[in-house]
Structure 1
Amino acid sequence: MLCVAIRIAQRMGIHNESSNTRRTALEAEMRRRLWWSLILFDNRICEMFDCKTASLTPTWDCKIPHNVDDFEMRPEMKAPPRIHEQPTEAVFVVVRSELGNFVRHSAFHLNSINPALNKIAEDIRQAPVPKGGEVIALEKAMENKYFALCNPENPLQFMTVWTARGCLAKNRLLDHYARYSKTSAQQTDTQRNAAISHALRMLECDTKLMTSSLTRGYHWFLHFHFPFPAYIHILQDLKKRPAEDYAEKAWDVMSDNYETRFMNVKLDARPMFIVFSRIVLQAWEAREALSRHEDKPPETPRIVSDIRNKVMQMRTDFPQNSNKEQQNPAVGYIQ
């Protein structure tokens, strides 16, 4: 259905800014918001199923929505209202669209889906990449343009700031992958630690959102954006480097986020939890193996204690599956 909706939108020409400008101000703005909502939703679906998106690319030119209040848009208007510098009712839509617009022109994104599109993005961008990288430059611009003006006591603006900061951390992690995943050179500890800091930042932003009373009305959105890549990156690194300086902080950050996401999980939602728990326990087993010769064993993180309790409960409640797992560890667990 989503693919059909995108094809219909393209047939209507809402991805084409020259087509939008021929409409009234209200209709043009509605077309922009609709197009960006479809494209960002499609991109998220592709991320969840590990597919290469064909939509978030530089091959179309629909502008991002305007930063204006909804009540300013009226059917009889011939010209759009003045775009505000202060946050409006559309700030969440505007910021998400601006982040998406950055991603669809960024080298780290295009190299992963179709490197040939980089030439199109370069022609559109024209300006050289700022010192320190594209993502860092975007982060500074977003902080000054939007975040500094947002009211942290306003639910929508709070949601905007921390969702965007988490997204920026994710983009920095993806940029790291693009820089080092295909090179034969060994990463330095400094480079690895930088990637870990991005993953931890993702979890911290998510925890901030999940624990705030301001975001209760937006949990449907947050559940759709579980920061699984951050967990995977941190846990895989902890499995290889269990005693690094950041390890204790990493377990605390994961425990805080886990308590907001999984503490009250129902055991009938087993597949996702089984995969997740296996990865967590393997990482902690590496730390325990390292500490066997230490006088004082490390304190078990909250996330590990709760997962072990849940696994024991699941084996009691579903003994037939436990037998299968003992016969074939690949059943129900990721290796």
Structure 2
Amino acid sequence: MGLHRDGTTFVLKPFDTELRRRLWWHICLLDMRSSEFHGYKPIVRGDVFDIKLPLNINDSDITPNMTEAPKEHEGYTQMKFCLKRCEMTKAGWKVGCASPISSSTATVARADGEQIVQELQSQLEERYLRYFDESVSFMLFTLKVTRLIVARTGLMVDFPRKQKEAYTSTIIRDRLFSISMEVLELSRFIMTTSSISKWTWHSKAHIHWHAVIFVRSEICSRPASAECDRAWEFLNTVHNQWSMNERGRRGNLSRPIQRLIVKARYVREMQQLDPGFHLARRMATPDTAPVQAGSSELQQETPDPYGIPGKVSPDEYMDWMLEDVGIDLYSEWRTDPAGASIMIVIRKQTQLLAN
């Protein structure tokens, strides 16, 4: 079918060219979402297609009989929501979130990734967001989703990726926590604001696993605070809105995530009795540091530009993600006198979540 080639290459009519562009970019979006959710490398590669972005037009601007492409608008159109998603997909490819870059290119350095996110934000502000009127429901929805995905892209720049560096820096972890909180706060706004409720289904279909994982892991290792209280508020809302228990019963929510939920709830209950209670953080160490007793040797791996292990199951993918943010769901209790009983409780609660 040659969908990866722009319609102008085949001298197609403007209408056919536009439909092919929209279809191809939707395939790219689905490929990115699927690869992230299931832990597989993306199928689409950025160097195998030459299709341009769809035009910034309204549907009424183009008809099957047209021989010349319609002139693009500068302001808001029916295609704005789609176009901003396409722009974010392109940015996602560059930072290696879950999409294509050549196999010879390693994941971009953090500084380069942050620059890409800044350029994305400036570009979206200039081309799209400055035309939005927040009093119009769909424009408000589009604006919030845009802010959400920009924040999520920034999170992916710093999120651990099986690299040699240890994510022990308080500054980095605080930044990751702040960005993750922003992602969850925006998600909650989108899913609970009545004026945009007719489009809530869109966000309910997009669970931001990295933000959920990181915030839940951090509140396990941080003392009780107002910030952690806010984190719990956001987590409880998105947990219910995303129907995470139901997804778990259908097999989409992996057991590692369920165990993390139970562990975080346990910490929360203990902090209500003792505000100073928290679990020690166990972070991976650099290759140059001595290996702690009882820990497994760090495996030497060829850096993966996607930051995703090979072909793995959803459960293995989640275990990998949890490991990279330094989460061992049981280690803190193995040396606790009551550890055995606590681990039994966690396993039972995990089974309840899945039933």
**Unaligned regions of 5+ residues in structure 2, if any?**
278-343
Report if the CA contact (8 A) 2:21-2:52 is conserved: yes
Q: What residue in structure 1 maps to residue 92 of structure 2?
A: 103
Offset at 1:68?
0.4
Matching of residue 116 in structure 1 with residue 103 in structure 2: yes
Residue number among 65, 70, 81 corresponding to 1:81 in the alignment: 70
Report if the CA contact (8 A) 2:81-2:142 is conserved: yes
Change (3 A) 1:86 1:198: same
Q: CA RMSD in A?
A: 3.7
Q: What residue in structure 2 maps to residue 192 of structure 1?
A: 173
- Mapping for residues 144-159 of structure 1, pairs under 5 Å: 144-159=126-141
- Between 157-166 and 82-91, the greater mean CA deviation after superposition: 157-166
Report if the CA contact (8 A) 1:67-1:88 is conserved: yes
- Matched residue of 1:133: which SS? helix
Matching of residue 140 in structure 1 with residue 122 in structure 2: yes
Residue number among 225, 240, 255 corresponding to 2:236 in the alignment: 255
Structure 1: distance between partners of 2:44 and 2:227:
38
The one-letter amino acid paired with 1:116 is S
- Matched residue of 1:109: which SS? coil
Matching of residue 37 in structure 1 with residue 26 in structure 2: yes
- Between 133-142 and 209-218, the greater mean CA deviation after superposition: 209-218
**Unaligned regions of 5+ residues in structure 1, if any?**
1-11, 123-128, 297-324
Q: What residue in structure 2 maps to residue 168 of structure 1?
A: 150
Structure 2: distance between partners of 1:16 and 1:270:
38
Q: What residue in structure 1 maps to residue 286 of structure 2?
A: none
The one-letter amino acid paired with 1:46 is S
Offset at 1:91?
1.0
Q: What residue in structure 1 maps to residue 340 of structure 2?
A: none
Report if the CA contact (8 A) 2:191-2:203 is conserved: yes
Change (3 A) 1:244 1:59: farther
Structure 2: distance between partners of 1:199 and 1:261:
16
The one-letter amino acid paired with 1:138 is L
Q: Percent identity?
A: 21
Report if the CA contact (8 A) 2:113-2:157 is conserved: no
Structure 1: distance between partners of 2:163 and 2:21:
36
Q: Report the TM-score, using the length of structure 2 for normalisation.
A: 0.68
The one-letter amino acid paired with 2:200 is H
Offset at 1:227?
2.2
- Matched residue of 1:246: which SS? helix
How many residues end up aligned between the 2 structures? 285
Offset at 1:192?
0.6
Q: What residue in structure 2 maps to residue 49 of structure 1?
A: 38
Structure 1: distance between partners of 2:57 and 2:28:
21
Change (3 A) 1:28 1:117: farther
Offset at 1:88?
0.2
Report if the CA contact (8 A) 2:223-2:276 is conserved: no
Q: Report the TM-score, using the length of structure 1 for normalisation.
A: 0.71
Structure 2: distance between partners of 1:87 and 1:139:
17
Write 1 or 2 for the structure with the bigger share of helix: 1
Report if the CA contact (8 A) 2:95-2:113 is conserved: no
Structure 1: distance between partners of 2:266 and 2:347:
20
Residue number among 189, 196, 205 corresponding to 1:224 in the alignment: 205
Alpha-carbon displacement from aligned partner over 1:104-128 (angstroms, at most 9, x marks no partner): 2x14337x86662539x99xxxxxx
Report if the CA contact (8 A) 1:235-1:283 is conserved: yes
